[in-house]
Structure 1
Amino acid sequence: MTDERSSEPTDDERSESEASGGAEPAVAGDENDTGEENDPDDEFTIADFHDASQQEGRPVLTAAAVSRALEISQEQAADRLEALAENGDLERHAVSTDPVVWYPSELEDLTDRERVVVFPKRREIIVDRPDQFTRAQLSQFAHLADANGEQGYRYVVRPEDVWGTPHDSFDDLARTMRQALGQRSEDLEDWVESQWDRAHQFRLVTHEDGYTVLEAQSPEIMGNVARQKLDEEHVHAPISETEDWVQEGSEAAIKRILYEAGYPVQDHRELESGEELPIDLEVRLRDYQRTWVDRFAEAGEGVFVGPPGSGKTVAAMGAMAHVDGETLVLVPSRDLAQQWADTIVEYTSLEPHQIGQYHGGRKEVRPVTIATYQIAGMDRHRSLFDDREWGLVIFDECQHVPSDVYRRSTHLQSKHRLGLSASPIREDDRQTEIFTLVGPPIGTDWEALFDAGHVAEPELEIRYVPWGDDEQANAYGSADGQEKYRIAARNRGKVDEVRYLLSAHPDSKALVFVDYLEQGRELSEALDVPFLSGETPHHERRRLLDEFRRNERDLLLISRVGDEGIDLPTADLAIVASGLGGSRRQGTQRAGRTMRPAGGALVYVLATRGTREEDFARKQLQHLGRKGMTIREQTVDREDERSR
């Protein structure tokens, strides 16, 4: 039988070697080559040490690293470091891999208080023990790239972070930067200001006659950028040296094209707000959710980014209450449409008759309408959505928006646009399109939510499982390409491992994930538990999920349909029997099924020992480690398990 997949399959680590002797001679043409040798008697100050630290990319240096950075011998470097230490500017520490490492005295108490080190040339910020205020300030202009590395919290300032900052002026942004960094970094501020300027070169406005105009800050930027990138599909004709008449319906494409060229477009069109619809939120937002809503209110658009369980849906209802207008919610499946409808009734003042669903099972257009992306993108249904003036369009699981199937739904125009995503990453690297088609990212770093107790950090363990029989092991050895991964993923030895883990946690509510339908059926028979897949009728899916929520059932076996198409109930235990070869986003979704305020959750990822699945599992979970989650690895010994 041919296996069916329930969905599509799917940093650089810098290695630094320490020189054991002096630096290589300068090469002709090198910007540091002055034609003169360094005088060993030249004054060496703490500023020189910081320059070397900047060049090496870390605040703790060996004498070899200083000699390389300053192009002096290692002996000269050691003498100068000793002199600074005698003056109290440096401290030294002996370690096992190098004779001595040196660091500024001001870093002596790093273990006791927050410290921030800025590397402006790399646009990186390393923070040790940041407090909540610092995190909140950094999140307004920088991206948390690594939350558990040896160098502490590593933030990177990317162009898109500056483009999406919620500040009205560069002076306001610079003030936030100085508060977060505790200092003024002129080089970094200069670069950020250049990106701020790029983000304000173009804007879309509404002409007094009702059509849309693309405006540029200068004739040069219009001629050298916009008129080089856009054609008759996007604009009718020039109106002036700095204005173009926009083709109706091409606004989203113009924003995407210019964004990719490095010039995000400010959208200042006078879009209709739709019919007024008073909405009261009947639940108190957490502080970070309120911040999300406030930032959305300032910009009029954005993408709420946070881990599963952080309350993005409730925050979206806070945005609905702010807009107070008719709302269209786009979701990947009819199951999510029903769950949205139920949640809106539960958490807002809206009544069921004000909420409609539009998908393969129901066709209702009401003040709040929840539709599937597929339906909203079809020509025969588009007029129903185009003819209504929506005050807000919400794109749930908006990481799908750049795909060709879902992109058409973004042509629907409204005054406010909001996306929701736990992990807006795509294996085709088109994630930047999410922010051009919907809005800039708005979120709180995962580690902060873990520390505050809003979301429980699950314990995640990769378990390397032996083959269940020689037949599959031999088949793997003779297979090629994707077939190797498929055989490893369906290793029958995983059945015993799932049984063992379930028996080791007898009181847990568990979700078991599989990627292959045939594998799911085999596990369903072996465990005597229902298998919830795309083949399961909608009414049956809902019954099984409701039983799990009501604690009438403590185990569910789920295919890829559970990754994003339905809102799975919270579990204490998640076992990923197969499926980590698909995407980083899938790993986030499955691990996230245990991320709720209650702690103690466990996630086990099974990978066949000695196969390509090992590498897949490690790589696809790396980004979760960078978000602050602890990841362990364990090699399974079947004999040891049987003796327990």
Structure 2
Amino acid sequence: HVQIRYYQEKALRKMFSNGRSRSGIIVLPCGVGKTLTGITAASTIKKSALFLTTSAVAVEQWKKQFEDFTNIHPRHIRILTSDYKLDLWPINEAGVLISTYTMLSYSGKRSEQSLRIVNDIRRREWGLLVFDEVQFAPAPSFRRINDIVKSHCKLGLTATLVREDLLIRDLHWIIGPKLYEANWVELQNKGFLAKALCKEIWCSMPCSFYKYYLKSNSFIKRRLYTCNPRKLMMCEYLIKYHEQNNDKIIVFSDNIFALLHIAKTLNKPFIYGKLSPIERIAIINKFKHDSSINTILLSKVGDNAIDIPIANVVIQISFNFASRRQEAQRLGRIIRPKNKANEKKNINDPDSFFYSLVSKDTIEMCYSDKRQRFLINQGYAYNVLSDNIVDFNKLNLVYKNKKIQENLLKCILASTDDGNMDEDDDLFEDQSFKKDNTKVNKTNSNILLNKKEDSLKKIDNTTGGLLKLSSNMDVTFADKKKIPTKKFADKHILFRKFLSQNK
């Protein structure tokens, strides 16, 4: 038997008041039992339920929670992802289906099996439709879900009911009103959340980088302030410091160029959009259970619906501009109650550490200030520090190597905005991992097998994609080739004809 906590009971009372179920949204912090709240709601209604989440990894996590907390027969728990497509249970029986937003809202051509399952979903009456990470539901591409699924009751679950646009207002009519919201600090004081220490560290930028920052376009600027050598040195120092304390560390980088560079240089496993769900789960399990893997790097695909309760340190080196939601979600990865709490010398000592590394005197400082507003409103406070607190001259750090810094700068300045290497959104690129990424997978495999790679390997001048460039630390300027802003084929037919005649 599972005993729900007082705040979960309070939230569910709001949903099931007056003897009937109400549609609406329940807001609970990360790590305090949103999943169990959704499962309890489905068990109370006792009819078929459809759960939607953001990724295939999250689907597997929901399935495991249903198996752990309920006595539903396994044949009545179905998942629908790009890899798993099983027919639903008989229509006269009740069951649970777990899928992703993109899988259900996809409007393109489907496989025969997928189309058959979606048509079956359309025909059925669902007792409950649950939107995990409900802040994504107002996105234009997901609104058609309400037309596909006929449900008696809708429930939205999230830790961060915020968006940086006005679409958050639409949730009131897409799903329903906010039924309950818990306070983060209140739950922390009652022991349901770990005590977290939040620090923002300002990292000065070397003159060699800053002079290009002042005169470059926005694409190059972002890479420069993300790959600021002093920021990367601080990141490396914090990783070493916390690994000595046997902490489990997550390094977040929205910028894929930086993520791959750091992973290769420091020999750490990483997860981003091009890895398949099976590979992601394997890396996460290795991180959870293997004492030799204490650090992983995540892109924004790790922001939502990934369960890593063992992690207690987050280092953020790159983020999605001024997103308040992302800041809160990343803190949420490390605020589950820790087993180490009983080992603390002082009851006021923090259980978890959240570091946000910001390049000083850049636009990144403005974004950082806006990102913190949601957590500050919840009662958290940030300690602002300078990178001068650490004397890098006395430390043996890889990123202190001037040669690596120079080659990193050359690689950044030689790069072009091809639209593929700086952003990574798992929610809208559900099939991105099917692209050719054999080299990336091999790198991860070598890291997990503790095979050291020579990060200072000599290579010749090279051309090619940024993945190739970012994988070599001693790269010199690539042969510069001007790339037109618009492809010739994109031009209007009259202009194509005119240009071809005047060549």
Q: What's the offset of the Cα at 1:356? A: 0.6
| Residue type at the aligned position of 1:548 | F
Q: Report 1:86-125 matches (<5 A).
A: none
Structure 2 equivalent of residue 558 of structure 1: 298
SS in 1 for 2:199: strand
Q: What's the offset of the Cα at 1:566? A: 3.4
- Alpha carbons of structure 1 residues 291 and 392: separation in structure 2 relative to 1, 3 Å: same
Q: Distance in 2 between matches of 1:640 and 1:490?
A: 19
Judge conservation of contact 2:325–2:374 (CA < 8 Å) in 1.
no
Find the partner of 1:375 among 95, 99, 103.
Answer: 103
Structure 2 equivalent of residue 340 of structure 1: 62
Q: Does 1:567 align with 2:286?
A: no
Judge conservation of contact 2:247–2:312 (CA < 8 Å) in 1.
yes
Q: What's the offset of the Cα at 1:569? A: 3.9
Structure 2 equivalent of residue 547 of structure 1: 286
Structure 2 equivalent of residue 313 of structure 1: 35
Q: Distance in 2 between matches of 1:457 and 1:640?
A: 28
Q: Distance in 1 between matches of 2:73 and 2:181?
A: 30
Q: What's the offset of the Cα at 1:549? A: 2.0
| Residue type at the aligned position of 2:5 | R
Name the structure where helix makes up a greater proportion of residues: 2
Deviation larger for 457-466 or 481-490: 481-490
SS in 1 for 2:198: strand
Q: Does 1:514 align with 2:261?
A: no
| Residue type at the aligned position of 2:100 | T
Structure 2 equivalent of residue 67 of structure 1: none
| Residue type at the aligned position of 1:487 | L
Find the partner of 1:537 among 271, 276, 286.
Answer: 276
Q: Report 1:103-252 matches (<5 A).
A: none
Q: Distance in 2 between matches of 1:476 and 1:349?
A: 58
Q: Does 1:444 align with 2:182?
A: yes
CA deviation map 1:139-194 (0-9, x unaligned): xxxxxxxxxxxxxxxxxxxxxxxxxxxxxxxxxxxxxxxxxxxxxxxxxxxxxxxx
Q: Does 1:585 align with 2:325?
A: yes
Q: Distance in 2 between matches of 1:593 and 1:534?
A: 18
Structure 2 equivalent of residue 479 of structure 1: 216
Structure 2 equivalent of residue 624 of structure 1: 375
| Residue type at the aligned position of 1:329 | F
Structure 2 equivalent of residue 296 of structure 1: 15
- Alpha carbons of structure 1 residues 563 and 546: separation in structure 2 relative to 1, 3 Å: same
Structure 2 equivalent of residue 459 of structure 1: 197
Q: What's the offset of the Cα at 1:324? A: 0.9
Q: Distance in 2 between matches of 1:345 and 1:639?
A: 48
Q: How many residues end up aligned between the 2 structures?
A: 362
CA deviation map 1:88-120 (0-9, x unaligned): xxxxxxxxxxxxxxxxxxxxxxxxxxxxxxxxx
CA deviation map 1:437-482 (0-9, x unaligned): 1122222122221221111231110001122x44321221102446
Structure 1 equivalent of residue 133 of structure 2: 397
| Residue type at the aligned position of 1:536 | L
Q: What's the offset of the Cα at 1:492? A: 3.0
Judge conservation of contact 1:484–1:612 (CA < 8 Å) in 2.
no
SS in 2 for 1:391: strand
Find the partner of 2:356 among 580, 593, 605.
Answer: 605
Q: Distance in 1 between matches of 2:173 and 2:187?
A: 27
SS in 2 for 1:369: strand
- Alpha carbons of structure 1 residues 572 and 639: separation in structure 2 relative to 1, 3 Å: closer
Judge conservation of contact 2:81–2:100 (CA < 8 Å) in 1.
yes
Structure 2 equivalent of residue 186 of structure 1: none
Q: Which has the larger radius of gyration?
A: 1
Q: What's the offset of the Cα at 1:293? A: 1.2
Q: Distance in 1 between matches of 2:351 and 2:35?
A: 24
**Aligned-pair RMSD on alpha carbons?**
1.9
Q: What's the offset of the Cα at 1:489? A: 2.0
Q: What's the offset of the Cα at 1:563? A: 0.8
| Residue type at the aligned position of 1:448 | E
SS in 1 for 2:314: strand
Judge conservation of contact 1:300–1:415 (CA < 8 Å) in 2.
no
Judge conservation of contact 1:306–1:443 (CA < 8 Å) in 2.
yes
Q: What's the offset of the Cα at 1:603? A: 0.3
Judge conservation of contact 2:39–2:66 (CA < 8 Å) in 1.
yes
Q: Distance in 1 between matches of 2:142 and 2:308?
A: 23
Q: What's the offset of the Cα at 1:546? A: 1.0
Judge conservation of contact 2:204–2:359 (CA < 8 Å) in 1.
yes
SS in 2 for 1:581: coil
Q: Does 1:595 align with 2:314?
A: no
Q: Does 1:431 align with 2:168?
A: yes
Q: Distance in 2 between matches of 1:397 and 1:342?
A: 18
Judge conservation of contact 1:331–1:395 (CA < 8 Å) in 2.
yes
Structure 2 equivalent of residue 354 of structure 1: 76
Q: What's the offset of the Cα at 1:537? A: 2.3
Deviation larger for 576-585 or 385-394: 576-585
- Alpha carbons of structure 1 residues 458 and 387: separation in structure 2 relative to 1, 3 Å: same
Judge conservation of contact 2:200–2:356 (CA < 8 Å) in 1.
yes
Judge conservation of contact 2:124–2:150 (CA < 8 Å) in 1.
no
Judge conservation of contact 1:358–1:372 (CA < 8 Å) in 2.
yes
SS in 1 for 2:144: helix
CA deviation map 1:380-436 (0-9, x unaligned): 644221111111111011100110111111332311111111101111121121232
Structure 1 equivalent of residue 234 of structure 2: 497
Q: Distance in 1 between matches of 2:157 and 2:290?
A: 28
Q: Distance in 2 between matches of 1:630 and 1:514?
A: 22
| Residue type at the aligned position of 2:122 | D
Q: Distance in 2 between matches of 1:429 and 1:489?
A: 28
| Residue type at the aligned position of 1:546 | N
| Residue type at the aligned position of 2:283 | L
Q: What's the offset of the Cα at 1:487? A: 2.4
Q: Distance in 1 between matches of 2:138 and 2:285?
A: 32
Deviation larger for 593-602 or 387-396: 593-602
| Residue type at the aligned position of 1:535 | K
| Residue type at the aligned position of 1:489 | T
| Residue type at the aligned position of 2:268 | V
CA deviation map 1:29-68 (0-9, x unaligned): xxxxxxxxxxxxxxxxxxxxxxxxxxxxxxxxxxxxxxxx
